[in-house]
């Protein structure tokens, strides 16, 4: 029994590094940094900063889950969205477990999120389309679901 235990322990030591999580891709970190700056701007209510991260021609698609289980789909331009936020305070939105897909100058970030404003609290999925122009990542389009009862299912854990 002892030789078997020693062999298993040795195998675990050898296999451990091979099973370790891969190192994050620096290019993916650049993409996520844009998403982080976007959320920092939302929290600060710094709509000018947020606008600087967006492609002017971009759009937003929102799918809101209704109490009857149906969905309400809304499409608006970045400009219309920013105009609707003008003069309003910031709000905090947090995301977790992002998936980044990237090829050359395009990327997609998909992540569950939770947002809490004075009027609303919900979770959902954020999907950012990003493009790299002149070496800088910009948000080209944004989609999200708004699911008031999905926080637990999406894995949200309160801070603290």
Output the domain CATH number for residue 31. 3.10.450.50
Whether 14 is in a domain gets the answer no
How many domains does one find in the chain?
1
Model confidence, pTM: 0.81
Mean predicted confidence (pLDDT) in 3-7 = 56
Burial class (CB in 10 A: 0-12, 13-18, 19+), 67: exposed
Nearest to 108 by CA among 144, 146, 139, 74: 139
Whether 126 is in a domain gets the answer yes
Whether 12 is in a domain gets the answer no
Q: What is the pLDDT of residue 156?
A: 85
Question: What is the residue range of 102's domain?
Answer: 25-146
Q: What is the pLDDT of residue 123?
A: 95
Whether 127 is in a domain gets the answer yes
Whether 140 is in a domain gets the answer yes
Whether 132 is in a domain gets the answer yes
Q: What is the pLDDT of residue 41?
A: 97
> Which two tokens mark 41?
């701007």
Q: What is the pLDDT of residue 59?
A: 98
Nearest to 132 by CA among 106, 156, 155, 151: 106
Helix ranges (H only) for the chain are 2-19, 26-44, 47-51, 78-85
Q: Which of these ranges, 5-14, 55-64, 113-122, has the smallest mean pLDDT?
A: 5-14
């Amino acid at each position: 029994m002892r030789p078997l235990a020693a062999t298993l322990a040795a195998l675990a030591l050898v296999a451990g590094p091979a099973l370790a999580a891969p190192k994050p891709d620096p290019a993916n970190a650049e993409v996520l940094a844009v998403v982080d700056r976007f959320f920092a701007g939302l929290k600060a209510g710094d709509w000018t900063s947020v606008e600087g991260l967006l492609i002017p021609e971009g759009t937003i698609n929102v799918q809101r889950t209704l109490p009857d289980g149906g969905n309400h789909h809304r499409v608006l331009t970045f400009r219309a969205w920013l105009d609707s936020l003008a003069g309003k305070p910031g709000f905090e939105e947090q995301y977790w477990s992002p998936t980044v897909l990237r090829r050359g100058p395009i990327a997609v970030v998909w992540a569950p999120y939770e947002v809490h404003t004075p009027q609303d609290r919900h979770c959902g999925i954020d999907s950012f389309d990003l493009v790299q122009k002149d070496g800088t990542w910009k948000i080209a389009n944004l989609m999200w679901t708004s699911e008031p009862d999905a926080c637990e299912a999406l894995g949200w854990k309160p801070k603290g």
